[in-house]
Amino acid sequence: MLALNFVASSSDYLLGIDIGGTAIKAAAFSCEGKPLSTRTEPTLDGRLKDGRPAWAVAVRQLVADFAGELAAPARHIGLSAPGLAAADQRSIASLPNRLAGIEGFDWADWLGQRVLVLNDAHAALLGEVWQGAALACRNVVMLTLGTGVGGAAMVDGALLRGHFGRAGHLGHVTVDYSGKTASIFGMPGALEVAIGNYNVGERSGGRFADSSDLLKAAGEGDGAAQAVWEQSVQALGCAIGSFINAFDPEVVVLGGGVAGAGEALWLPLKRVLAKVEWRPFGEGVPVVPAKLGGWAGTFGAAWEAMRAASGAAACR
Amino acid sequence: MLALNFVASSSDYLLGIDIGGTAIKAAAFSCEGKPLSTRTEPTLDGRLKDGRPAWAVAVRQLVADFAGELAAPARHIGLSAPGLAAADQRSIASLPNRLAGIEGFDWADWLGQRVLVLNDAHAALLGEVWQGAALACRNVVMLTLGTGVGGAAMVDGALLRGHFGRAGHLGHVTVDYSGKTASIFGMPGALEVAIGNYNVGERSGGRFADSSDLLKAAGEGDGAAQAVWEQSVQALGCAIGSFINAFDPEVVVLGGGVAGAGEALWLPLKRVLAKVEWRPFGEGVPVVPAKLGGWAGTFGAAWEAMRAASGAAACR
């Protein structure tokens, strides 16, 4: 009797790489989506190694390390990073003030094989659709509530990219057009001004450094902290209701540190949505926490690289 | 020598029908898009004729009149109306409080031939892409500034419909989350609250009935009127800048009566956008007036009906 071999051939794996501000995460998946192995390296933004950006050298090493571990090069590589992906998806076309050298850096040339490059928020949404909180959905809005607010949208089964690849920058949508503070892209009263970690200090008159400080005080009955947080959740709820009217999703996914605040976020957010959401057929749109945490980008990058390859030959 | 016949066979025409609150507009086009003939009938919302809604009877008569005039039934019929189009595009699935009887009204059954039904703002955008201000564009945001504010978006070549067909309701996106007034769908400080004609009275402390009254006074140096209008344009500019960040269009098209206000709109709007728009590659996104006026919906409905039919057989 033949011994059936259920283990995928070693050449059949996808690699998803996500370059963040502090860490580079990489994960290998079987073509069916099973996570096989993960690795993390520091980004070392701004440093050089052998005359090259340290992040570039680290990514090349990570790819080699996986090839060693899994005894073959990856069949498909997807790479996500902040900034606007170029139309040919070979590089990041625009990312001012961070990861110097990444603009126009051709990853296929550097790694010696095809690499699909995409925006990190786009990748995170795709990851959640592939194996996360928006599993198999065709209409999705995702917000990542962290230092700033990242966003992405999928409508009618297609991830929205737009003319320059900037579609889905939902943290830079106004929720207060007469607001004095603008987001880094110049939008007054942007959503990330209202709930991003980076300006909790400004919102609280300098009393708190970030959302967890603010929420701790609010939880202990600090009325001023509660009022600040209430405003933030009101802004977030109105923004989500607005995105529902603009994109008509079947699910809204919230990721990032602030989304992990538990009932302090979810209970008041539900109350706001009950007031401001348009519910033409009775039910509201489910608003749910992300499932893949900081690894969502690696999932989405790997999946998109496989999907972008021609159908039948995508995975042998 | 044979006489070449350059006139389209009489059976080769498309019909676009747009049902509005006061008028039903219909236009016939050659398959190449040349307008052949137009007709208009009053909607008579709420009235019956032979026990049927007057608008239904009027549409059937219009279709028959075109068939008589052009000596054949239309090859493809598209019909646009307010409300959410059903997923099968045979009817309007939701439109509370207006055009009683239209929810679920099956137009193919009523007219005895296939009819493609779509939302009126979606149709207007498609019309402007087919033959108007967004000719051949793949990434478009359109706002119709009238009684309220209608909207639609096309991204990466696809009109956004969404889970229930409500994508693009951009008049119901907040620009002021602490605003006291809500749009008809419950969104506080919605864009249409800030610039829709319907609440110029509220915005001006009861002094003006609509935007043209307000603009006339502002033009004559009325400081209070100027201040109200300035706020409206600030809100509109921030909303447009936000939609640019959310959808990444190559053009933004403004239609409706308020868009016809001339320099009183366009000059201050340009100033606001110069401040709030994110311009990663230097240039701003062109913001342009619609070209097809009140007929855009008939163009888009006719075009979409042809596009929805199978490729080669779409027009013989």
Residue ranges of chain B whose pLDDT lies below 70 = 1-11, 310-316
Residues 6+ apart with CB under 8 A from B220: none
Three-state secondary structure string covering chain A: CCCCCCCCCCCCEEEEEEECCCEEEEEEEECCCCEEEEEEEECCCCCEECCEEHHHHHHHHHHHHHHHHCCCCCCEEEEEECCEECCCCCCEEECCCCCCCCECCCHHHHHCCCEEEEEHHHHHHHHHHHHCCCCCCCCEEEEEECCCEEEEEEECCEECCCCCCCCCCHHHCECECCCCCECCCCCECEHHHHHCHHHHHHHCCCCCCCHHHHHHHHHCCCHHHHHHHHHHHHHHHHHHHHHHHHHCCCEEEEECHHHHHCHHHHHHHHHHHHHHCCCCCCCCCCEEECCCHHHHHHHHHHHHHHHHCCCHHHCC
Nearest chain B Cα to A153, which residue?
B246
- A19 φ, ψ (degrees, to nearest 5): -95, 115
Indicate the residue of B94, B153, B278 with minimum beta-carbon distance to A280.
B94
Which of A60, A63, A57, A76 lies closest to A37, judged by CA?
A63
Q: What is the pLDDT along chain A (316 residues), one digit of tens a residue?
A: 344 444 445 569 999 999 999 999 999 999 999 999 999 999 999 999 999 999 999 999 999 999 999 999 999 999 999 999 999 999 999 998 899 999 999 999 999 999 999 999 999 999 999 999 999 999 999 999 999 999 999 999 999 999 999 999 999 999 999 999 999 999 999 999 999 999 999 999 999 999 999 999 999 999 999 999 999 999 999 999 999 999 999 999 999 999 999 999 999 999 999 999 999 999 999 999 999 999 999 999 999 999 998 653 456 5
CB contact under 8 A, B280 and A163: no
Q: B-contacting residues of A 214-273, CB under 8 Å?
A: 231, 234-235, 238-239, 241-243, 245-250
CB contact under 8 A, B153 and A246: yes
Distances (CA, A) of B39 to A300, B36, B63, B124: 51, 11, 10, 18
Nearest chain A Cα to B179, which residue?
A176
DSSP B20-39: -SSEEEEEEEETT--EEEEE
* C-alpha distance from B167 to closest chain A C-alpha (Å): 4
Predicted confidence at residue B314, as pLDDT, reads 56
Please report, as a single letter, which amino acid is at residue B49.
Answer: K
Burial class (CB in 10 A: 0-12, 13-18, 19+), B1: exposed
* C-alpha distance from A221 to closest chain B C-alpha (Å): 23
CB contact under 8 A, A241 and B187: yes
**ipTM, two decimals:** 0.94
CB contact under 8 A, A162 and B185: no
Q: How far apart are CA B73 and CA B77, in angstroms?
A: 10
Please report, as a single letter, which amino acid is at residue B124.
Answer: A
Q: What pTM was computed for the model? A: 0.95
Q: B-contacting residues of A 282-301, CB under 8 Å?
A: 285
Q: How far apart are CA B218 and CA B226, in angstroms?
A: 5
Q: How far apart are CA A142 and CA A123, in angstroms?
A: 11
CB-based contact, B211 to chain A, within 8 Å: no
Indicate the residue of A167, A242, A285 with minimum beta-carbon distance to B247.
A167
How do A140-145 and A251-255 pair as beta strands?
parallel
**Residue A7 tokens, joined:** 């283990």
CB contact under 8 A, B245 and A280: no
Which residues does residue B154 pair with via DSSP β-bridges, in sequence order? Answer: B140, B159
CB contact under 8 A, A172 and B84: no
Predicted confidence at residue A315, as pLDDT, reads 61
Q: How far apart are CA A224 and CA B95, in angstroms?
A: 43
* C-alpha distance from B15 to closest chain A C-alpha (Å): 26
Phi-psi region of B180 (alpha: psi -120 to 50; beta: other; left: phi over 0): alpha
CB contact under 8 A, A246 and B186: no
CB contact under 8 A, B185 and A158: no
* C-alpha distance from A117 to closest chain B C-alpha (Å): 17
**What residues of chain B lie within 8 A of the CB of A234, using their CB?**
177-178
CB contact under 8 A, A160 and B248: yes
Asked if B257 and B294 count as a contact pair (C-beta separation under 8 A), the reply is no
Q: A-contacting residues of B 104-143, CB under 8 Å?
A: 138-139
CB contact under 8 A, B235 and A156: no
Predicted confidence at residue B217, as pLDDT, reads 97
Q: Which residue has the tokens 């676009």?
A: B16
Asked if A165 and A85 count as a contact pair (C-beta separation under 8 A), the reply is yes
Q: How far apart are CA A119 and CA A262, in angstroms?
A: 28
* C-alpha distance from A16 to closest chain B C-alpha (Å): 24
Q: How far apart are CA A28 and CA B135, in angstroms?
A: 44
Which of B259, B292, B12 lies closest to B126, judged by CA?
B292
Instruction: Mutation target for A interface from B238, B273, B281: give the one with most A CBs within 10 A.
Output: B238
pLDDT digits (tens, 9 = 90+) for A280-293: 999 999 999 999 99
Asked if B86 and B48 count as a contact pair (C-beta separation under 8 A), the reply is no
**What residues of chain A lie within 8 A of the CB of B247, using their CB?**
160, 162, 167
